[in-house]
Amino acid sequence: MTAEELRDTIARQFGRSLHIRTLDTGSCAVCEQEIRLLSAPHYDLNRLGFFFTPAPRHADLLLVTGPMIRAFAVAARKTYDAMPGPKIVVATGACALGGVYPDDPFTHGTVDAVLPVDVWIPGCPPSPLALLHGLGVAVGRLAEKVRDLPFTEEHYPERTRGGS
Amino acid sequence: MTLWFIRGLLRGVVTTRYPVRPDASAASLPTPPAFRPQALTRPTADRLVGICPSGALRRDGSVLVYDVGRCTACGRCAAEAPHAVTGSGEFELATTDRSTLIKEIPVREEAR
């Protein structure tokens, strides 16, 4: 099975119902606040077929926050191993992507040092909308956009005059 | 009770239509900065690299390497050099390829 076929299979199987287990590997809990907001009436992620589950054995997607502190790496690995396949790991927030504690001796600095990450969601914290986009990317429902964004100002002509 | 019910009906559905339609609240989110290469001189770039608290910026010769994944959108670079940095307004940054988050911004060479 090629990667392309595998991606199609995952999109078909997870596209309508996906169970999410969140994993806090030492975050400051603001990422968790934003994740909690996904269940709030304004975002209501259940309408998109996403559900939170308290057990990794029921989960299809592992939503990991925090810089992966060394004391938690074993538990993170066990959580990942307990999940049935196929499974998706999403690294959430700047800590998980290596931003805030890259050289801290008590952390691994990034989530992909311990777990095989499939989708990266930047942001500190990523807003619920960014998380929804990330979940959509994870199940292949939404397109990735960041590849084509240069982050130079010619790309944002309407913003050049007023500043940020 | 009746008034409360009617008021609720008038207010309508609060749930966002987000992936199908854009959400109005997205405009007020703090977002990673975008840079203006014409105003980004080498000393400015070095100053921004120095104040970035999360190590998202690094200068490599005449290129400012900007790791959007590490950026916390704190706004310190925009406060330090408002002529060269502005908000990008981008929040849909999720990716399946980590390297797509690393951007290279050209740094203007000083006339000598």
Q: pLDDT tens across A67-103, in order? A: 999 999 999 999 999 999 788 999 999 999 988 888 8
Q: Which CATH architecture has domain B31-112?
A: 2-Layer Sandwich (3.30)
A153 versus A58: which is more confidently predicted?
A58
Give the C-alpha separation, B86 to B79, whole Å: 9
Show me where the domains of chain B are located.
31-112
- Mark yes or no for CB contact A159/B67 under 8 Å: no
Q: What confidence score (pLDDT) does residue B87 get?
A: 84
A109-132 burial, b at 16+ Cβ within 10 Å, e below that, comes to: bbbbebbebbbbbbbbbbbbbbbb
Q: Is A47 exposed, middle or buried (0-12, 13-18, 19+ CB in 10 A)?
A: exposed
ipTM of the complex: 0.86
Which of B16, B96, B101 to probe the A interface (max A CBs under 10 A)? B96
By DSSP bridging, strand A50-52 and strand B57-60 are unpaired
Closest CA in chain A for residue B26 = A129
Q: What confidence score (pLDDT) does residue B38 get?
A: 87
What dotted CATH number matches A3-159?
A: 3.40.50.12280
Q: How many Å lie between the alpha carbon of B112 and the closest alpha carbon of chain A? A: 25
The amino acid that residue B85 corresponds to is: V
Q: What confidence score (pLDDT) does residue A160 get?
A: 44
Give every CB contact of residue A22 below 8 A, 6+ residues apart in sequence: A32, A35, A52, A63, A64, A65
Is residue A159 over pLDDT 60?
A: no
